[in-house]
Each structure stands twice: as C-alpha cells, then as structure tokens.
Structure 1
C-alpha cells in the first residue's frame, strides 16, 4: 500500500455527491483507496463513472437525504452491499436567498431539513455499522457564511450554525466508540450551483475579502476532509475548521 492510499479498505459515504464539492470529495476519497457510496437527489452516475473508470470501487444511490425513510434505506443498502460504513461526509445542502419577509415556515423547514436534519438522519443510518467496526469518521459541512454580513440567508446561517452544534455534541457521544466528528466550513466555492445565483462581481468581492485572494474551488476542501477522515486525525474531534482562504472576520 502506497503512502497515498490512506483510506484503503474503508467504505466512505458522501452525500450531495452528484456535482461540485461533494463530487470532489467522493473522487478524492476514492483516489485514496476508499470504496465510495455517492448519494444525491439526482443520480450521481457521473461521479461514480469518474471513479470506476480509473479502477476504483464506487456505487451510486439516489435519495432525498432529508427523508427519514430514504436515508434509512440508503444505510441499509450500504450495510447489505459492504457490511460496514467507516466514513460519512454530510455535504448535501441548499442555499436559496430569501429575506425575512419572503421567508415562510415551509421555506424555513425545507432549508433546515436539507441542511441540518439530513446530517442527523444520515448519521442514524450508518451509525450501527460504525459502532460495530469500532472506528468511524464523520465530517459535517458547515459554512463560513455564519461570520459574514450576507443578507437573505438567516435560514441558511441558522442551519449552518446547527451543523457546528450537532458536530460538537455528537463528538462527545461517539468518542467512546472510536468515532470522531468534525465540521468543515468552506468559503463561497465555485460550483455549478454557486454560478447560477452569484454574479461575477459578487464572487470577486468574496475573493478580495480573503487572505488568499481567489475564489475557492471544490478541490480546496478535499485535503482537509481527507485528513479528518484518516487514521492521522484520531485525536481530532468536535472541531470546526474553516477551509476558507482566510476570510476576514
């Protein structure tokens, strides 16, 4: 096993893996030797093809990770196919812009369901296999938006603060089982979804507010997540790491 194969023999479940950050994370873990379970609301066939075409092992599951029945079914399928689940990266999320006058309870609950409830549901779905194996790595994606003055994101920021609190609390509960839990917060990252809602001048303004004055790319997250999901991070838990280019706070 080469030094690069830090995840050999592990089964890694990645949500929101169909494109963008999730796709980059899934590809990175697969390249490091993990068997990858790519989950997305849309069939993440492209992500799986990228891995299998290079000789890696990966499967695609289509699921709404805010739905209790679908997440339970996904966990059961992972257990059936592989008999284990070692790594969970909760990446799935949405970021609609609504100011408080536009924001009704249905919209509020949809954002909280996708961004926060899904992390709880996916943990519940794979936790029995992690406990049985006596080893686990959970990484929950949050966002550096929680320290910005961006308008129209009160619902989103609430969900992302929830990701941090959930990660911290869960780390306390799961440490006795050899399972670590951490949160990682990207900056505004250039993905297809981001390009759909942010004009170029907004992207440039974010870049200029960072110590590293360029926009984040999906691959900028993979090193941090690869570390946190490896054996090397055995003593790192309950932490929130902002991989955001040194955004000015």
Structure 2
C-alpha cells in the first residue's frame, strides 16, 4: 500500500500507460488517492487500463499520439474536462520495445526519425500542451522518464539512448524556464526493470546483469514507481532540474 505522500486529490496525466511501467505508474498514483488520466496511442488499451484501475480510485482513459501537436492539445483539453486541470504530468510514452539492436551505422533513417518524434518531440509536445494547466493550478510537477542507458552508453541502441539523453537536457531547460511558476521538472532514469516484458525476452531476467549492481538484484516495478511518486510529491518540493537514476548503483561499479 502506498504511504500518504500528499497526492490525494492531485490530477495526474500518465502517458504510455496502457501497459508496462506506465500502467504501474497510473495504478500507484490511484492508490495514493490521485485522479489519473491514462493516456496511450493504444486507445482500447488505455480504456481497459482505466476501467481496471477505477477499482483503485478515480481513473479516466484517453488516446494520444504524443508526436502529434493536436493530439497532445486534445489530451490537455480532456484532462481539463474530466479532472478540472492538471497538477502532475508523467511523460512515460516512448518507443523502446520492438526496436532492433543495430550498430549506429546500420540504423534505418526512418526508424531513427520515428524514435526522435516520439521520445524527444513527444516529451516537448506534452509539456507544452499541459504547461498552461499547470500554471493555472499554481504550479505542479513534471516527471520525464529517461533511461540509465544514457550513462552506460548501451551499444547497438544509439537511437534510443540519444533520445533519452535529449530528454534529460530538455528537462534542465524547462526546469529553469518554468521554475518561476512553481512548476518542477525532473527526470527519472530507470535501469533494467523486471516487468512482464522482461521475462518474455530474457529467460533469466531476474539474474540478468546483477553482477553489475551494487545491490545485487534487478529493479522491481515498485522501485521505479516509488521514485516517480517521490519526484511528483511535495516531499520533492525543492527538487527540480535533477535526474534520479534508479539502477541499483550500476553506474558506480
């Protein structure tokens, strides 16, 4: 059970929330008493997740293509209509699963462009669409989800790693530009995390790479969602422009 973090009644958008970590973010915010708008390019998936999570609290579903300006603006309008505004934005939508690992010389240009359109432009678009609602609320919190691979330089994944590095850079700029409006912008950079998809692709997911972890285990979903709840909450009220790496200390081995 999520402890009281002062999130009860907060209005939250989570993108890429039809499944995986996005769904887990949405569920934990619901458990914390927040209203949550589950957004995903998979409209049916978003609706199903919202229906499932309504058992935990107040939850709505909506479709969004974060690479499309009008779609992001429409999602912001939906948030205003259903929740009355926005206090917290979790930018989780990204292209990752399904990307082929290739040396950087061999990445197809159209794949590169698609990754950048979703993983970089999508973050910018969502922040731009939601920022008026955050200002109207008197401030709020944006958590942009990046990746610990930015710091390890994961080979054969240059398009993904580069896009997540850009998310960190953009977040530092937005933190300075929006700080005067009491809008905090931080980055959550998870390492390898044990999700259902992990076990689908890696036979020994639980033991994968644990020798490089200071804690000698891989992250559970709750390790990542707990960090997001902290960054979004008033407990991190004087934290902005920061990147929280949640990888069990792999970067220091």
User: TM-score, normalized by length of structure 2?
Assistant: 0.90
Is residue 160 from structure 1 mapped to residue 164 from structure 2 by the alignment? Answer: yes
User: Residue deviations 1:194-235, cap 9 Å, x none?
Assistant: 444x43357634222111222222221111111111122110
Matches within 5 A, 1:21-170: 21-42=21-42, 43-54=45-56, 56-95=57-96, 96=99, 97-170=101-174
Q: 1:79–1:85: 8 Å Cα contact kept in structure 2?
A: yes
2:194 equivalent in structure 1: 190
**Change in 2 beyond 3 A, CA 1:94/1:190:** farther
Note closer, same or farther for the CA distance 1:132–1:165 as it changes in structure 2 (3 Å cut).
same
Match of 2:250 in 1: 247
Report the more deviating stretch, 239-248 or 177-186: 239-248
State which of 200, 203, 209 in structure 2 corresponds to 1:200. Answer: 203
Residue pairs, 1:232-243, within 5 angstroms? 232-243=235-246
Query: Where does residue 11 of structure 2 map in the other structure?
Result: 11
| RMSD, matched Cα | 1.9
2: CA distance, partners of 1:101 / 1:202: 29
How far 1:192 sits from its partner (Å)? 3.8
CA distance in 2, matches of 1:124, 1:98: 32
Structure 2, unaligned runs of 5 or more? none
Q: Check the 8 A contact 1:27/1:47 in 2, yes or no.
A: no
| Deviations, residues 42-92 of structure 1 (Å, cap 9, x unaligned) | 1223432332113x1110111221221211111111112222111000011
Q: 229-238 vs 3-12, which deviates more?
A: 3-12
Aligned length: 246
> Is contact 2:11–2:35 with CA below 8 Å preserved after alignment?
yes
Aligned 8 A contact 1:27 1:50 in 2: no
User: Aligned in 2, Cα 1:211/1:5: closer, same or farther, shift over 3 Å?
Assistant: closer
Kindly indicate whether the alpha-carbon contact (under 8 Å) linking 1:39 and 1:61 is maintained by their aligned counterparts in 2.
yes
TM-score (norm 1): 0.92
CA distance in 2, matches of 1:51, 1:205: 31
Hey, what's the Cα distance between the residues in 2 that align with 1:152 and 1:14?
29
Q: CA deviation digits over 1:138-182, x for unaligned, max 9?
A: 000111111225321111111011011011110001111011000
The answer on whether the counterparts of 2:198 and 2:205 sit within 8 Å (CA) in structure 1 is: no
Q: Mean alpha-carbon deviation: is it higher for 102-111 or for 33-42?
A: 102-111
Structure 1 segments unaligned to the other structure (5+ residues) = none
